[in-house]
Chains A and B, each alone.
Chain A
């Protein structure tokens, strides 16, 4: 007996919920061979606006969590990814057209990178922070603090971009306590949405990660010009008019990371963590009164 196929509708992930696009639009996701895979929500500027509101309201709690706690929460995601390995392999095979072996290697990389970044959560402050020498009886301490709401245009091409690229762009922003609005790969958003299902069932508070699917060309300008977004990571914006996006971002003094191409991009570096931190320097008297 033949069964009727039950294709999954992939929705957005905003504020811990999975809404359809406010606009009601969807678009077809096709596999590497052009075959129909699924319908995904096509986010509008208003979905981006809602996502920024969700990210803003989650910022207070996430940035105030202890570094150790954030590390644990991020590590937990890696554990859950491991448990869902088969689903991610299947989606990578179907959407990016990888062999099962290559797909398994991609998810290994994604999990390893997630663990690597999780480990930095309670360590990056030691590396990026400093006790400064000053000519007086004071402690002078510089500590990195999260920038705020970070918009990310996730990588749009390259082997494993839909998972490894996504993870490598999102995780470093989360480490220091930022909250994220990320525009997933347009052609292969399945892994990103499945990852958000992992996030929803892990210990990540709602709104800390918000995932939009659809056209980066349509959404990115709204995020770049949004006054309530503090930084924008243009890693996957190489095919867009990213110079204009930078100009828009400059209007509201955002931190900007430029597009990055190549296999495995973006590379996992401490610089990606430090890019979305602000250095706070405090003076404190040494003497006991």
Chain B
């Protein structure tokens, strides 16, 4: 589905082309009115069709060598996450150790894309990664592991803008390469689109580092609290318009998380955005993806919706913690020829 068939309205994202946040929006300046006119003008989602399409993609079965490749790719796309109130520096260090060496019994095992922690622990993660931290690794010619920090009063997002921006600046200063922000669902649901838009833009500004590099911004929509597919699609467009580098399904802290139809819907938005503007925005399903099977279904959905070029860490991530162990068990099964067990991977 292309939202805008006529192609007459061409939106330019905030901050893109270095225009200092200029936005040639739709039909006028960014206000609640223009945003509402645009977002609520987006046709409704065909929920039955969406779910059928997702269910159809989920029946795709990968075997042998393609499955082995898919499993490796899943690992390369994982944001290995720990977001508990009980997180300690020690726990973050062990998470980092696992990110660097997921399977000590198999040196061919790829590394994950990033570790995702709370902002106050970002410095610990950077320190623990050492030479494997993405900026240092890039300087040495390898890809490395990024540090993603959740910010903006994660997971509720209920704080004043000043507090949220301080939260972001803090995490960026601590060395976070990626910021996972939450949108203000209350504002979105009560129709204050401009507030949400401006918040994302302000956070994007706060992601700038003095050295000129930007921390990548992932915008968490928390689709479980947006309730409907229509809302999720509007929120996706809103986040993309406001300059998100990634749109992310959920925090993992509410009952309903990343379902396959929801991921499919968001992938359709970034695909349409790419057709409209040529810009590539990433998607990150998070929460509830625990098995290799689920993860591979996500890969299939990405390849079939946005295209295979999206299957790289800069455009697709899976936020997960227990998924990695399941993938490792599958890899061990493929390597040894017999089923493996939880005693053969690290506890997390």
Spell out A's residues near B (CB within 8 Å): 49, 52, 56, 222, 225-229, 248, 251
Contact = CB atoms under 8 A, between A and B. Distances in A.
**What interface size band does chain B fall in?**
under 10
B296 to A, nearest CB: 16
Specify the main secondary structure of chain B where it touches its partner.
loop
Contacts of B339: 49, 52, 222, 225-228
Contacts of B341: 56, 226-229
A229 B339 CA distance: 9
A261 B179 CA distance: 66
Contacts, number: 27
Contacts of A56: 341-342
A226 B338 CA distance: 6
Nearest to A46: B339
Given A222-B338, A228-B341, 7 more contacts: A52-B339, A225-B337, A225-B338, A226-B339, A228-B339, A228-B340, A228-B342
Contacts of B338: 222, 225-227, 248, 251
A21 to B, nearest CB: 17
16 contacts: A49-B339, A52-B339, A222-B339, A225-B338, A225-B339, A227-B332, A227-B338, A227-B339, A227-B340, A227-B341, A228-B339, A228-B340, A228-B341, A228-B342, A229-B341, A248-B338
Contacts of A251: 338
Interface of B: 332, 337-344
Contacts of A229: 341
Contacts of B343: 227-228
B11 to A, nearest CB: 48
A227 B343 CA distance: 8
A202 B106 CA distance: 45
Contacts of A52: 339
A41 to B, nearest CB: 20
B190 to A, nearest CB: 43
Chain A binding surface SS class: helix
Nearest to A251: B338
Contacts of B344: 227
Nearest to B341: A228
Nearest to B338: A225
Contacts of A226: 338-339, 341
Contacts of B337: 225
B169 to A, nearest CB: 44
B78 to A, nearest CB: 22
B335 to A, nearest CB: 12
Nearest to B340: A227
B50 to A, nearest CB: 28
A10 B332 CA distance: 34
A91 to B, nearest CB: 32
B342 to A, nearest CB: 7
Chain A CB within 10 A, most for which of B337, B338, B339, B340: B339
A251 B343 CA distance: 14
B182 to A, nearest CB: 33
Nearest to A221: B338
A46 B272 CA distance: 40
A248 B340 CA distance: 13
Contacts of B332: 227
A259 B337 CA distance: 25
A56 B341 CA distance: 10
With most chain B CB atoms within 10 A of its CB, the pick from A226, A227, A248 is A227
B302 to A, nearest CB: 26
Q: Report, nearest first, the 6 A-B pairs whose CB atoms are least far apart.
A: A228-B341, A225-B338, A227-B341, A226-B339, A227-B340, A49-B339
Nearest to A226: B339
A227 to B, nearest CB: 4
B334 to A, nearest CB: 14
Contacts of B340: 227-228
A251 B338 CA distance: 11
A13 to B, nearest CB: 20
Contacts of A49: 339
Nearest to B344: A227
A94 B233 CA distance: 62
A268 B123 CA distance: 61
A226 B332 CA distance: 11
A53 B224 CA distance: 29
A255 to B, nearest CB: 15
B323 to A, nearest CB: 16
A251 B339 CA distance: 12
B62 to A, nearest CB: 15
A56 B340 CA distance: 13
Contacts of A227: 332, 338-341, 343-344
A58 to B, nearest CB: 14
A152 B341 CA distance: 18
A228 B339 CA distance: 7
A222 B337 CA distance: 9
A87 B304 CA distance: 54
A228 B337 CA distance: 14
A49 B343 CA distance: 16
A42 to B, nearest CB: 19
A226 B333 CA distance: 9
Nearest to B337: A225
Nearest to A225: B338
A52 B332 CA distance: 17
A222 B342 CA distance: 17
Nearest to A248: B338
A226 B340 CA distance: 6
A248 B336 CA distance: 12
A229 B342 CA distance: 10
Contacts of B342: 56, 228
A272 to B, nearest CB: 24
A248 B338 CA distance: 10
